[in-house]
Amino acid sequence: MNDVSARIQHLREDFSKAVLTENAAGTEPFVFFERWMNEALDAQVLEPQAMALSTAAPGGRIASRMVYLRFAHNHNFSFYGNYNSLKGQHLNAHPHAALLFFWPELQRQIRIEGQVNQMPTEQSAKYFNERPRGSQIGAWASDQSQKLNDRKQLENTEQIYLERFKNQDVPCPPFWGGWTLSACYYEFWQGRPSRLHDRIAFELHNQQWLKNRLSP
């Protein structure tokens, strides 16, 4: 048995901070999402807007990565990135994805699934213009997911764009922008003792949200 396995096999955390009832979850999952997100913000959870984004290649191979939620409104969840990246390629070929928020400080997670659409160019540009200048330059410098010879290659490319846009505003790259996931499924998870966790799911059916408790 390797050292990592030996160290993790006996790790146990019994969850007992809160309960999740059907009554508390209500009938509107986005409203409950906002409630939990606000509680995470109030609890000063480390980067509560960070979420795992899972996408699928045409052949079914799954990839996950952490991204930031930037806007959330009425079942729509928006994030940004490079359209030529692996996630961009996946979403172009298979425009469905899953999001996962995990807040261990609160012993909670939220899973969301839905169809993904690319944002209008004007909307992406508006957000890009609000980003820190260093992040704007980084968007131009990073040929995301492509192989590099070394770190120096990336830093040299950054210098090229620092000079190119010196003393002027940095425009939004044509290969960079946002996506919006429109939720059709939510699952709220609250850790409970003895691994008998609370799970409440909402699924959109004929424009109505159907709520069910799931076995842990």
Residue 204 has pLDDT above 60, yes or no: yes
% of the chain residues with pLDDT over 90: 90
| Residue 87 belongs to a domain | yes
Cβ–Cβ < 8 Å for 79, 178: yes
Cβ–Cβ < 8 Å for 193, 39: no
Q: How many domains does the chain have?
A: 1
* pLDDT at residue 148, as a whole number: 87
Structural domain containing residue 120:
15-129+172-213
| Residue 164 belongs to a domain | no
Q: What is the mean pLDDT of residues 202-212?
A: 98
| Residue 32 belongs to a domain | yes
| Residue 163 belongs to a domain | no
Q: What is the mean pLDDT of residues 57-86?
A: 97
Residue 152: pLDDT band (50, 70, 90) is very high
**Catalytic pick from 35, 164, 195, 213?**
195
Q: What is the mean pLDDT of residues 148-152?
A: 92
* pLDDT at residue 1, as a whole number: 52
| Residue 183 belongs to a domain | yes
Q: Look up residue 107 and give its amino acid.
A: Q
SS3 call for 147: coil
* pLDDT at residue 146, as a whole number: 84
* pLDDT at residue 154, as a whole number: 94
| Residue 2 belongs to a domain | no
Residue 144 has pLDDT above 90, yes or no: no
CATH code, domain with 42: 2.30.110.10
Residue 145 has pLDDT above 70, yes or no: yes
Cβ–Cβ < 8 Å for 155, 215: no
Residue found under tokens 């059907």 = 22
* pLDDT at residue 147, as a whole number: 87
pLDDT averaged over every residue in the chain: 96
CA distance 155 to 119: 29
Q: What is the mean pLDDT of residues 185-190?
A: 99
**Tell me, what DSSP letter sits at residue 143?**
-
| Residue 148 belongs to a domain | no
CA distance 131 to 50: 17
* pLDDT at residue 12, as a whole number: 82
- Structure tokens given for 12: 């146990």
| Residue 165 belongs to a domain | no
Known active-site residue 111: no
122-141 pLDDT, tens per residue? 999 999 999 999 999 999 99
